[in-house]
Structure 1
Amino acid sequence: MMQATIHQAKTHLSKLIRKALDGEEVIIANRDKPLVRLEAVHSKKSKRKLGWGKGLVTYVAPDFDEPLEDLAEHMETAEEEQMRRKRSMRRK
């Protein structure tokens, strides 16, 4: 974690932004009292690598694409249960 004063932040804003983009926590303080945290909107750490799971699925059942006959019934039951819970929450 890096802490900078307001004056230092004004003077070295580009440097602080680079540190935040690299994932470092940057705090801007006034008289040693932390005021704000500078952080990247999209951190490098959060990027996903495409294709990381290629080759992991080694078997797919022949009926994989067939419709699940009881799925519609299950979905209706779950939907009814959710509505019942919402109604009971309103009563409380």
Structure 2
Amino acid sequence: MHTVTVHQAKTNLSRLLQEAQHGEEIIISRGKTPIAKLVALPSARANRRIGSAPGLVLSMTPDFQDMPAEFRDYVE
């Protein structure tokens, strides 16, 4: 982890982003006061696939597809 000023961050943003992408944490300060930390976002989760979680949904109620009675006035 290293510290840069706001001016240095603006001047070297591309390089700092690349460093963050490779796991470095960069503290951005105004004068001697730290004001922000530049870190990479966690990796995106893998795409979900149909059937990738068999057995997790145990059952649905028999009326799952039925429209609630209070909504019928709005669609008829």
CA offset digits 1:16-53 (Å, max 9, x no partner): 1011111011010001111000011135xxx9xxxxxx
Between 1 and 2, higher relative CO (CA 8 Å, sep ≥ 6) is seen in 2
Moved over 6 A (4+): none
- Could you tell me which runs of 5 or more consecutive residues in structure 2 were left unpaired when the two chains were aligned: 46-76
Aligned length: 46
TM-score normalised by the chain length of structure 2:
0.53
- Could you tell me which runs of 5 or more consecutive residues in structure 1 were left unpaired when the two chains were aligned: 48-92
Question: Which of the pair is proportionally richer in helix?
Answer: 1
Percent sequence identity over matched residues? 45
In the other structure, the counterpart of 1:21 is: 21
CA distance in 1, matches of 2:19, 2:42: 13
CA distance in 2, matches of 1:2, 1:12: 14
TM-score normalised by the chain length of structure 1:
0.45
